[in-house]
Amino acid sequence: MNRTPEIEIIRRKQQKRIIVRKTDKHRLRVSAPVRTPMREIRKVLKTYEEQIMNLPVKPDFHIALRKPKTLTIFGARLPVFYQNGPSDVTIAADRIVVVSPKDDAATIKNLLEQALKHHLLKTTHTLHDKMRQQHPELEKCHPDFYTRYTLSRFGSCNKAKNRINLNLALVHYPVQCLHSVYAHEVTHLFVAGHSRAFYEQLAVFDPEYKANKLNLEAYHRIYLRDNATSI
Ligand SMILES: [Zn+2]
Protein backbone atom coordinates (compact mmCIF):
# COMPACT_ATOMS: atom_id res chain seq x y z
CA MET A 1 0.00 0.00 0.00
CA ASN A 2 1.63 3.27 -1.12
CA ARG A 3 -0.44 5.58 0.93
CA THR A 4 -2.70 4.89 3.89
CA PRO A 5 -6.25 5.33 2.69
CA GLU A 6 -8.71 7.56 4.47
CA ILE A 7 -11.42 5.43 5.98
CA GLU A 8 -14.99 6.49 6.50
CA ILE A 9 -17.10 4.22 8.67
CA ILE A 10 -20.88 4.09 8.50
CA ARG A 11 -22.96 1.96 10.81
CA ARG A 12 -26.30 0.76 9.59
CA LYS A 13 -29.10 -0.90 11.52
CA GLN A 14 -30.31 -3.14 8.69
CA GLN A 15 -26.88 -4.36 7.73
CA LYS A 16 -25.66 -7.91 8.35
CA ARG A 17 -22.10 -7.84 6.99
CA ILE A 18 -19.14 -5.51 6.70
CA ILE A 19 -19.01 -4.02 3.22
CA VAL A 20 -15.96 -2.13 1.97
CA ARG A 21 -16.12 0.21 -1.03
CA LYS A 22 -13.50 2.35 -2.61
CA THR A 23 -14.96 5.80 -3.24
CA ASP A 24 -11.74 7.40 -4.38
CA LYS A 25 -8.18 6.27 -5.08
CA HIS A 26 -7.24 6.83 -1.45
CA ARG A 27 -10.57 6.65 0.30
CA LEU A 28 -12.51 3.68 1.60
CA ARG A 29 -16.06 3.61 2.80
CA VAL A 30 -16.80 0.84 5.26
CA SER A 31 -20.37 0.13 6.19
CA ALA A 32 -20.99 -2.23 9.06
CA PRO A 33 -23.78 -3.49 11.31
CA VAL A 34 -24.47 -1.06 14.19
CA ARG A 35 -22.59 -2.88 16.95
CA THR A 36 -19.49 -4.02 15.05
CA PRO A 37 -16.41 -3.34 17.22
CA MET A 38 -13.64 -1.27 15.65
CA ARG A 39 -11.13 -4.14 16.04
CA GLU A 40 -13.30 -6.34 13.86
CA ILE A 41 -13.42 -3.71 11.13
CA ARG A 42 -9.62 -3.34 11.36
CA LYS A 43 -9.23 -7.09 11.12
CA VAL A 44 -11.31 -7.27 7.94
CA LEU A 45 -9.33 -4.40 6.39
CA LYS A 46 -6.05 -6.10 7.29
CA THR A 47 -7.08 -9.58 6.11
CA TYR A 48 -8.35 -8.38 2.74
CA GLU A 49 -5.91 -5.50 2.31
CA GLU A 50 -4.69 -6.53 -1.12
CA GLN A 51 -8.13 -7.24 -2.58
CA ILE A 52 -9.47 -4.00 -1.12
CA MET A 53 -6.71 -1.90 -2.63
CA ASN A 54 -7.39 -3.50 -6.00
CA LEU A 55 -11.11 -2.73 -5.92
CA PRO A 56 -12.30 -0.47 -8.71
CA VAL A 57 -13.37 2.99 -7.62
CA LYS A 58 -17.15 3.04 -7.37
CA PRO A 59 -19.06 6.25 -7.86
CA ASP A 60 -21.06 7.38 -4.89
CA PHE A 61 -24.09 9.39 -5.87
CA HIS A 62 -24.93 10.03 -2.25
CA ILE A 63 -21.71 11.97 -1.80
CA ALA A 64 -22.35 13.89 -5.04
CA LEU A 65 -25.57 15.28 -3.54
CA ARG A 66 -24.00 16.62 -0.35
CA LYS A 67 -24.38 20.34 -1.03
CA PRO A 68 -22.93 20.40 -4.56
CA LYS A 69 -22.05 23.69 -6.30
CA THR A 70 -23.26 22.28 -9.61
CA LEU A 71 -25.33 19.30 -10.70
CA THR A 72 -25.77 17.86 -14.16
CA ILE A 73 -29.43 17.40 -15.07
CA PHE A 74 -30.19 15.64 -18.36
CA GLY A 75 -26.78 16.55 -19.68
CA ALA A 76 -26.83 20.24 -18.67
CA ARG A 77 -24.56 21.39 -15.87
CA LEU A 78 -26.56 23.70 -13.62
CA PRO A 79 -25.43 25.89 -10.73
CA VAL A 80 -27.08 25.12 -7.40
CA PHE A 81 -28.19 27.97 -5.13
CA TYR A 82 -29.07 27.57 -1.46
CA GLN A 83 -31.59 29.49 0.61
CA ASN A 84 -32.90 29.15 4.11
CA GLY A 85 -36.61 28.33 4.57
CA PRO A 86 -39.22 25.56 4.44
CA SER A 87 -38.04 22.60 2.31
CA ASP A 88 -38.41 23.12 -1.43
CA VAL A 89 -36.30 22.33 -4.48
CA THR A 90 -36.79 23.92 -7.91
CA ILE A 91 -35.08 22.41 -10.93
CA ALA A 92 -35.25 25.05 -13.66
CA ALA A 93 -33.64 25.04 -17.12
CA ASP A 94 -30.69 27.16 -15.99
CA ARG A 95 -30.39 26.60 -12.24
CA ILE A 96 -31.38 24.58 -9.21
CA VAL A 97 -32.64 26.35 -6.10
CA VAL A 98 -32.62 24.46 -2.82
CA VAL A 99 -34.58 25.95 0.05
CA SER A 100 -33.72 24.09 3.22
CA PRO A 101 -34.56 24.64 6.90
CA LYS A 102 -31.06 23.38 7.80
CA ASP A 103 -27.77 24.08 6.09
CA ASP A 104 -26.25 20.64 6.64
CA ALA A 105 -25.13 18.29 3.86
CA ALA A 106 -27.35 15.38 4.94
CA THR A 107 -30.58 17.44 4.91
CA ILE A 108 -29.68 18.92 1.53
CA LYS A 109 -28.79 15.50 0.13
CA ASN A 110 -32.23 14.14 1.05
CA LEU A 111 -34.03 17.13 -0.43
CA LEU A 112 -32.03 16.92 -3.66
CA GLU A 113 -32.47 13.17 -4.01
CA GLN A 114 -36.25 13.44 -3.62
CA ALA A 115 -36.36 16.28 -6.16
CA LEU A 116 -34.23 14.32 -8.65
CA LYS A 117 -36.49 11.28 -8.29
CA HIS A 118 -39.53 13.44 -8.88
CA HIS A 119 -37.88 15.08 -11.90
CA LEU A 120 -36.91 11.74 -13.46
CA LEU A 121 -40.35 10.20 -12.89
CA LYS A 122 -42.18 13.27 -14.21
CA THR A 123 -40.06 13.18 -17.37
CA THR A 124 -40.68 9.44 -17.72
CA HIS A 125 -44.46 9.84 -17.40
CA THR A 126 -44.49 12.59 -20.03
CA LEU A 127 -42.50 10.34 -22.34
CA HIS A 128 -44.79 7.38 -21.63
CA ASP A 129 -47.91 9.44 -22.42
CA LYS A 130 -46.37 10.52 -25.72
CA MET A 131 -45.43 6.93 -26.58
CA ARG A 132 -48.94 5.72 -25.78
CA GLN A 133 -50.35 8.13 -28.32
CA GLN A 134 -47.94 6.91 -30.98
CA HIS A 135 -48.18 3.17 -30.31
CA PRO A 136 -51.64 1.59 -29.92
CA GLU A 137 -50.09 -1.50 -28.26
CA LEU A 138 -49.06 0.74 -25.34
CA GLU A 139 -52.51 2.21 -24.88
CA LYS A 140 -53.50 -0.12 -22.04
CA CYS A 141 -50.00 -0.24 -20.65
CA HIS A 142 -49.73 1.46 -17.24
CA PRO A 143 -46.59 0.30 -15.48
CA ASP A 144 -45.54 1.76 -12.14
CA PHE A 145 -42.22 3.53 -12.51
CA TYR A 146 -39.72 3.55 -9.64
CA THR A 147 -36.30 5.09 -9.38
CA ARG A 148 -33.27 5.00 -7.12
CA TYR A 149 -29.52 5.13 -7.55
CA THR A 150 -27.97 1.76 -8.22
CA LEU A 151 -24.50 0.84 -9.37
CA SER A 152 -25.48 -2.27 -11.26
CA ARG A 153 -28.13 -1.58 -13.89
CA PHE A 154 -29.72 1.22 -15.86
CA GLY A 155 -33.14 -0.33 -15.59
CA SER A 156 -35.11 -3.48 -14.88
CA CYS A 157 -38.62 -4.69 -15.49
CA ASN A 158 -40.82 -6.78 -13.23
CA LYS A 159 -43.59 -7.95 -15.50
CA ALA A 160 -45.52 -9.80 -12.77
CA LYS A 161 -45.73 -6.61 -10.70
CA ASN A 162 -46.12 -4.41 -13.80
CA ARG A 163 -43.22 -2.39 -12.49
CA ILE A 164 -40.26 -0.71 -14.17
CA ASN A 165 -37.21 0.39 -12.17
CA LEU A 166 -34.98 3.12 -13.55
CA ASN A 167 -31.54 4.04 -12.30
CA LEU A 168 -31.67 7.56 -10.88
CA ALA A 169 -28.24 8.12 -12.46
CA LEU A 170 -30.18 8.61 -15.72
CA VAL A 171 -31.37 12.00 -14.46
CA HIS A 172 -27.78 13.20 -14.98
CA TYR A 173 -27.30 11.88 -18.52
CA PRO A 174 -28.73 13.38 -21.74
CA VAL A 175 -32.47 12.66 -21.83
CA GLN A 176 -32.01 10.36 -24.84
CA CYS A 177 -30.43 7.85 -22.47
CA LEU A 178 -33.60 7.76 -20.38
CA HIS A 179 -35.65 7.29 -23.57
CA SER A 180 -33.54 4.35 -24.57
CA VAL A 181 -33.71 2.60 -21.16
CA TYR A 182 -37.45 3.31 -20.99
CA ALA A 183 -37.99 1.71 -24.42
CA HIS A 184 -35.91 -1.32 -23.44
CA GLU A 185 -37.80 -1.93 -20.19
CA VAL A 186 -41.25 -1.27 -21.68
CA THR A 187 -40.44 -3.84 -24.36
CA HIS A 188 -39.88 -6.37 -21.57
CA LEU A 189 -43.56 -5.94 -20.60
CA PHE A 190 -44.26 -7.65 -23.95
CA VAL A 191 -41.30 -9.98 -24.38
CA ALA A 192 -39.17 -11.51 -21.62
CA GLY A 193 -35.47 -12.09 -22.27
CA HIS A 194 -33.41 -10.75 -25.18
CA SER A 195 -34.66 -12.90 -28.03
CA ARG A 196 -35.04 -11.85 -31.63
CA ALA A 197 -38.70 -11.09 -30.93
CA PHE A 198 -37.56 -8.73 -28.17
CA TYR A 199 -35.34 -6.71 -30.51
CA GLU A 200 -38.03 -6.59 -33.17
CA GLN A 201 -40.44 -5.05 -30.67
CA LEU A 202 -37.74 -2.75 -29.29
CA ALA A 203 -37.06 -1.44 -32.79
CA VAL A 204 -40.73 -0.41 -32.96
CA PHE A 205 -40.50 1.60 -29.72
CA ASP A 206 -36.96 2.87 -30.33
CA PRO A 207 -35.88 2.68 -34.00
CA GLU A 208 -32.46 4.05 -32.99
CA TYR A 209 -31.91 1.58 -30.20
CA LYS A 210 -28.50 0.38 -31.36
CA ALA A 211 -27.01 3.86 -31.56
CA ASN A 212 -28.76 4.86 -28.35
CA LYS A 213 -27.28 1.94 -26.47
CA LEU A 214 -23.76 2.89 -27.52
CA ASN A 215 -24.47 6.47 -26.53
CA LEU A 216 -25.72 5.41 -23.14
CA GLU A 217 -22.59 3.38 -22.47
CA ALA A 218 -20.34 6.21 -23.60
CA TYR A 219 -22.07 8.72 -21.33
CA HIS A 220 -21.93 6.26 -18.49
CA ARG A 221 -18.17 6.12 -18.84
CA ILE A 222 -17.82 9.90 -19.11
CA TYR A 223 -19.89 10.64 -16.05
CA LEU A 224 -18.66 7.85 -13.88
CA ARG A 225 -15.02 7.70 -14.89
CA ASP A 226 -13.52 9.49 -11.91
CA ASN A 227 -15.89 9.76 -9.03
CA ALA A 228 -19.42 10.82 -8.47
CA THR A 229 -18.56 14.31 -7.31
CA SER A 230 -18.05 15.20 -10.98
CA ILE A 231 -21.65 14.57 -11.96
ZN1 LIG B 1 -33.34 -6.39 -20.96
Taking only the tens of pLDDT, the chain with its 231 residues reads 457 788 989 898 888 888 888 777 788 888 899 999 999 999 999 998 888 887 766 666 777 788 999 998 998 999 999 999 999 999 999 999 999 999 999 999 999 999 999 999 999 999 999 999 999 999 888 999 999 988 768 899 999 999 999 999 899 989 999 999 999 999 999 999 999 999 999 999 999 999 988 888 777 766 554 333 332
Q: What separation in Å is there between the alpha carbon of 65 and the centre of ligand 1?
A: 29
Q: What separation in Å is there between the alpha carbon of 184 and the centre of ligand 1?
A: 6
CATH number of 116-230: 3.30.2010.10
Q: What separation in Å is there between the alpha carbon of 162 and the centre of ligand 1?
A: 15
Supply the pLDDT for residue 79: 95
Distances (CA, A) of 50 to 54, 56, 58, 62, 152: 6, 12, 17, 26, 24
Residue ranges per domain, the chain?
6-58, 116-230
Q: What separation in Å is there between the alpha carbon of 182 and the centre of ligand 1?
A: 11
Q: Which of 179, 185, 177 is nearest to 201 (CA)?
A: 185
Q: What separation in Å is there between the alpha carbon of 186 and the centre of ligand 1?
A: 9
Q: What separation in Å is there between the alpha carbon of 130 and the centre of ligand 1?
A: 22
Q: What separation in Å is there between the alpha carbon of 127 and the centre of ligand 1?
A: 19
Beta strand pairing status for 70-73 and 155-158? unpaired
